[in-house]
Structure 1
């Protein structure tokens, strides 16, 4: 049965290729064109998949930055950390809102809760106060902003969707600025 099915499939393939070759001097360019179009479609599909993964991860890190920074607004030991946390909350909410329509269009759902690592960090920060809170918050946010900066720069190089490219460009400006401020506050506390 298997041999018969394979033989039938090969026969159909042979007939189709022969018919193409006999069709007014046609050559295998038609087959190559089909393969090229398929490769182009697969490239577009894989880019779309990468864009979707990026949007999902950006939404997750954005949610974490908002929730951790909202806690910092309440618990920070210094006014500098509190003010920067408020800026990060504002910037990330704006970013999340600008990405949301693009994510919706691509069928990417926004997360409603923190991932395990971010949830654990929120729990850890909740138990701290004063300078200990500030140090832990800065260490975590510097690390996460560096990762965000890399992810957004990578996406900026590869993105093909014009709307997403515009959002990524604007986001990078805010991420770069906030990372500089975070690193400055961290360095003032001896955190590298």
Structure 2
């Protein structure tokens, strides 16, 4: 028992000595506020996706032939803009600056869709959005269940139902498009 107490006391002294040095205190503060690699990745991926949804939603509002697709695009602009504002505020509080533009892959999709209009835009946009939202839903579900940072987990839990609604809307649009062909 005495050995355990001595070992514990020795460990506490080493920790306190490390904290008393200027470098030790800085490292302790840095470590306690740092996010895991998975949490940082979630911030980046969520921001990339949300930014792309806003840009593509704006395109859908002007280039889609279907009123339903145009309305969906408007919803993407509104809901993903709010999601992104919330994510930026949360990330900033944690000392992280999320991306401010879509990733190159999504940018390429946007460039391709920008060249389309009318029914062809609708045919390309809806399945692309469905695939992207299904992937985003998986990302948010994982973060909701396994994220290490409590606030990021809560953010994911708050927005998972929103993304789920988007997926359901896209599935209905996709089914309607198939049945009308």
Indicate the TM-score class for this superposition, using the shorter chain for normalisation: 0.7 to 0.9
1:55-94 alignment runs, 5 A limit: 55-94=43-82
State whether structure 2 residue 129 is matched by structure 1 residue 141. yes
CA distance in 1 between counterparts of 2:3 and 2:95 reads 42
Residue 26 of structure 1: aligned partner: 3
State whether structure 2 residue 109 is matched by structure 1 residue 116. no
5+ residue gaps, structure 1, are 1-23
When the two chains are superposed, the root-mean-square deviation of aligned CA atoms in Å is 2.7
Residue 155 of structure 2: aligned partner: 167
Give aligned pairs, total: 161
Q: Secondary structure at the match of 2:41?
A: helix
Please tell me whether the aligned partners of residues 33 and 94 of structure 2 are also in contact (alpha carbons under 8 angstroms). Answer: no
Large movers: runs of 4+ above 4 Å? 27-31, 44-47
Please tell me whether the aligned partners of residues 54 and 155 of structure 1 are also in contact (alpha carbons under 8 angstroms). Answer: yes
Report the structure number with the largest CA radius of gyration. Answer: 1
CA distance in 1 between counterparts of 2:34 and 2:172 reads 38
Deviation at 1:164, TM superposition (A): 2.2
CA distance in 2 between counterparts of 1:189 and 1:61 reads 24
CA distance in 1 between counterparts of 2:84 and 2:105 reads 20
Please tell me whether the aligned partners of residues 72 and 81 of structure 1 are also in contact (alpha carbons under 8 angstroms). Answer: yes
CA distance in 2 between counterparts of 1:107 and 1:45 reads 8
Deviation at 1:47, TM superposition (A): 5.9
Normalised TM-score (structure 2) = 0.79
Please tell me whether the aligned partners of residues 69 and 88 of structure 1 are also in contact (alpha carbons under 8 angstroms). Answer: yes
Please tell me whether the aligned partners of residues 145 and 153 of structure 2 are also in contact (alpha carbons under 8 angstroms). Answer: no
1:19-58 alignment runs, 5 A limit: 25-27=2-4, 30=8, 48-58=36-46
Normalised TM-score (structure 1) = 0.74
Residue 13 of structure 1: aligned partner: none
5+ residue gaps, structure 2, are 16-27
